């Protein structure tokens, strides 16, 4: 399946949820905590592979900004100066916790 692009992205510090509207019309509400726990950067990947606890962000940690990487990924900059994660669209879509996407992955 072709990769589905993220059309619109919203952030909400209050609810700590990232909103993504996809090119196919699907909408994802992905908690910030999920983005951090499953951050695809080398540092976080190593931490997970070695079974070490993930560096959890504080409740007050902000999502400072997000930007597009080419036409295939999003990158997030966190208030605790973690900004290495490159979330390819298909990876990000895979994090969608909605009732439609979740059962399809089981
Ligand atoms: Zn990371
Ligand atoms: Zn979904």
In a domain, 71, yes or no: yes
Range of the domain at 29: 6-105
- At 7-57, the pLDDT tens digits run 999 999 999 999 999 999 999 999 999 999 999 999 999 999 999 887 777
In a domain, 63, yes or no: yes
Q: What is the dihedral of CA 89, 46, 54, 104, to 10 degrees?
A: 40
Residues, CB within 5 angstroms of ligand 1 (ion): 39, 41, 44, 85
Percent of the chain at pLDDT exceeding 70: 95
Q: In this structure, which ligand is nearest to the CA of 39?
A: 1
In a domain, 1, yes or no: no
Total number of domains constituting the chain: 1
In a domain, 14, yes or no: yes
In a domain, 59, yes or no: yes
In a domain, 44, yes or no: yes
Q: Cβ of 33: how many Cβ atoms within 10 Å?
A: 14
Q: In this structure, which ligand is nearest to the CA of 19?
A: 2
Q: Which of 2, 6, 1 is nearest to 70 (CA)?
A: 6
pTM of the model: 0.89
Q: In this structure, which ligand is nearest to the CA of 42?
A: 1
């Amino acid at each position: 399946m072709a990769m589905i692009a993220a059309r619109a992205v919203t952030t909400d510090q209050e609810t700590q949820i990232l909103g993504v509207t996809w090119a196919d019309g699907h909408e994802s509400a992905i908690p910030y905590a999920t983005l951090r726990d499953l951050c695809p950067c080398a540092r976080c990947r190593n931490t997970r592979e070695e079974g070490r606890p993930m560096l959890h962000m504080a409740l007050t940690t902000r999502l400072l900004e997000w930007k597009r990487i080419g036409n295939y990924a999003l990158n997030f900059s966190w208030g605790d100066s973690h900004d290495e994660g490159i979330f390819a669209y298909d990876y990000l879509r895979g994090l969608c916790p909605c009732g439609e996407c979740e059962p399809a992955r089981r």
